[in-house]
Amino acid sequence: MLGSFFYLCLCLASISVSVFGLKLDDLVVCPPNVGCLRGTYMKGYQVEKFQAFMGIPYALPPLGELRFSNPKVMPKLSGIYNASLAKSDCIQKNYLLPTPIIYGEEDCLYLNVYRPERISKLRLPVMVYIHGGGFFSGSAGPSVTGPEYFMDTGEVIVVTMAYRLGALGFLSTQDANIPGNFGLKDQNLALRWVRNNIAFFGGNPQRVTIFGQSVGGVSTHLHLLSPKSQGLFQAVISMSGTANVPFAVNSKPLEQARKTAEFCQIEGADNLSTAKLARALRNIDVYTLINAGDGLKFWDVDHMTNYRPVIEPVGKEAFLTIHPNKLLAKGGYRKVPWLLGTVPEEGAVRVVNIKENITLREDFNSKFDYLLQELMEWPSEFNAQQLKEKTKILIDEFFGGIHEINDKTVQGFLDLITVRGFKQPLYNAITDYVRSVDTNKYPFYMYSFNYKGPVSYASIYTQANVTGKYGVVHCDDLIYLFRSPILFPDFAKNSTEAKVIKTFVRYFINFAKFGKPQNVPPLSCCTEEILKSRPEGICDYHEFINNKQNTEGFEIRVNDKFPTNRVKIWSNLLEEMKNF
């Protein structure tokens, strides 16, 4: 029945017929539960054009009484919906920028579908991207997350989606009044939309790969862990983020919700019932609500990520009811192909601006021990004396005992934030995986993107032009996956960077198509025994690096180097943590 309807829709889209007095063509797609959508053509990077269906509503606008509520399915659209323009980003205050500003809209639950100009008779693999941005910022729009490089291949359909951010996406009273995890539930609903409707765009709903970077990577890993997302995808790519990062879960959401209400000038915020608290917060002006998050910062924009996923009470609509660390330890996740990605200098996302902004650097140095201790997000079980001792160990190891950020210690600071926020969680995620999964049957793969190009996100994190100064930093791999015309100029079409784009995108597409990398040097299977046998390394991974001797200007090689010693220092410092 569904196949017949799918065939009928394709036929209708390929001929000219009259509907509501308008003519349909190949830029109109009519999923039966969505309605008719009119797309547009976009210019490719290497190809002439591809088709784009943008700004498709997948949920009711989360406004008024629907603020702080689980997303509701969008009813069928009437007429022919104009899907030729991207919608605004979800409203946000982007603390990743040197001068954070508020922009975007609260009505933002839209997704974009991109497909090649020539649709294959065979349904194409689908790649659904979840953007990063610390759960407080980010964009699914083509000015930052442009699909051109994927569309150049003509081999996949790409979907990007917006999801609620900051307080709107993750504030919680830890009960049914504001259950929380709205941003993750938005993602889940968008994935359900893809499963139900992507066939009408020529996509294969049984060949869906989710991929994301930073907290988008954290999100993909959480979908792997959540029963709510079971069956919605067949492969996962987690870039620069796993579900066990220190900023993945808020342990005191109700306390945070009350503080937010207090900063919104809600009278008696500490004593209101959660029902009254929810009602009051729903009536607050959205700009006031977002600015209230500044009151949760202990210094400058830190912690960057204050509103986070929460552990919900068990219920039909709950997304996460057990802490990710516990789920990982017991192997509680779907066994699907999994690709993990990282870059060398992940910690630059915070370090660069502190080092390059003299005012910030001097202020940080004036209270160095306190601020460093706060940045580490130690478990609450540790007392003041333990924290002092553990922070001293870190200062000795990473700063050579110097209590200051300067030219000599900045690399140690960068290494510390990289290991704490990214590398140690990544290592632990892999360790838990090989302990609980037969990797001969269910292997995972890993890459490290170490190619250093002429532009870098390092210069986005600060007002200074520091491209190249900090190496390959957090987000730099995105430059070779998505066109971002608002941030970076286009590379020449015959440049080394264009070749890196072609190869890196192909790496992702092959994983989406076959469940493993293809046409690259083979990796040995990772097992617990191999991991234990490499005290200064990790399992084999693919490394993308510069190589001027190579005619291409870069190469992919197999490596196993990893900051394992420093990862283990962190693991030893955290070993007293008994509760998650």
Q: Which of 476, 480, 431 is nearest to 457 (CA)?
A: 476
**105 carries an active-site annotation:** no
Query: What is the Cα–Cα distance from 472 to 449, expressed in whole angstroms?
Result: 8
Residue 504: helix, strand or coil by DSSP? helix
Query: What is the Cα–Cα distance from 92 to 103, expressed in whole angstroms?
Result: 6
DSSP per-residue letters across 270-308: TTS-HHHHHHHHHTS-HHHHHHHGGGG-SBTTBSS--S-
User: Which candidate in 172, 214, 240, 459 is catalytic?
Assistant: 214
User: Which candidate in 131, 221, 223, 474 is catalytic?
Assistant: 474
Q: Which of 25, 70, 245, 296 is nearest to 164 (CA)?
A: 70
Task: Detail the DSSP E strand segments found in 415-511.
Answer: 444-449
Query: What is the Cα–Cα distance from 10 to 14, expressed in whole angstroms?
Result: 6
User: Which candidate in 148, 312, 346, 543 is catalytic?
Assistant: 346
Query: Is the separation of the CB atoms in 136 and 92 below 8 Å?
Result: yes
Pairing of strands 124-130, 80-82: unpaired
Spatial CB neighbours of 338, under 8 Å, sequence gap ≥ 6: 224, 235, 236, 237, 238, 433, 444, 445
Burial class (CB in 10 A: 0-12, 13-18, 19+), 11: exposed
Query: Is the separation of the CB atoms in 129 and 212 below 8 Å?
Result: yes
**474 carries an active-site annotation:** yes
Query: Is the separation of the CB atoms in 394 and 376 below 8 Å?
Result: yes
Instruction: Give the N- to C-terminal CA distance of the chain in Å, as an integer.
Output: 48
Spatial CB neighbours of 4, under 8 Å, sequence gap ≥ 6: none
**346 carries an active-site annotation:** yes
Neighbour count for residue 531 (Cβ, 10 Å): 20
The catalytic residue positions are 214, 346, 474
